[in-house]
Amino acid sequence: MLDREMEKQMSKPNTNKLKVNKIGQLVALVAGLTLGSTLHADKLSVHLSDKTQQQMDAPKNGQRMAEIEQYFGAPSEKKSPIGEPPISRWIYPDFIVYFENDIVLHTVIKKS
């Protein structure tokens, strides 16, 4: 009879251990959130080379000829369209812009 009582007790989950485990997880979560909110991020400054700056200030794919000419001014040279669809080039001092019809396909930055 005593053996059966012991078997019943041993087969039951220990709810005290479960409660302690849950409390421990809760304490760890709160501590993590508290510490996480006090962390700071440093500002990273990166110096851009002249080449990178030129690339940022170059015509972008999808822009139209009128936008390019309005922003960058007239190119030093305009090459006539070739092929089908017509591909043309505008040559600027720092880059060359390739167009399909009147839309920018690609911009090539010239080597300094």
Domain edges within the chain? 2-37, 50-109
pLDDT of residue 12: 59
Average pLDDT over residues 1-18: 57
pLDDT of residue 41: 59
Higher pLDDT, 31 or 78: 78
pLDDT of residue 42: 64
The whole-angstrom separation of Cα 100 and Cα 85 is 7
DSSP letter, residue 46: -
Condensed to tens digits (0 to 9), the pLDDT of residues 62-99 reads 999 999 999 999 999 999 999 999 999 999 998 999 99
Does 3.30.1450 match the CATH number of domain 50-109?
yes
pLDDT of residue 107: 93
- Six-digit token string for 91: 């040559």
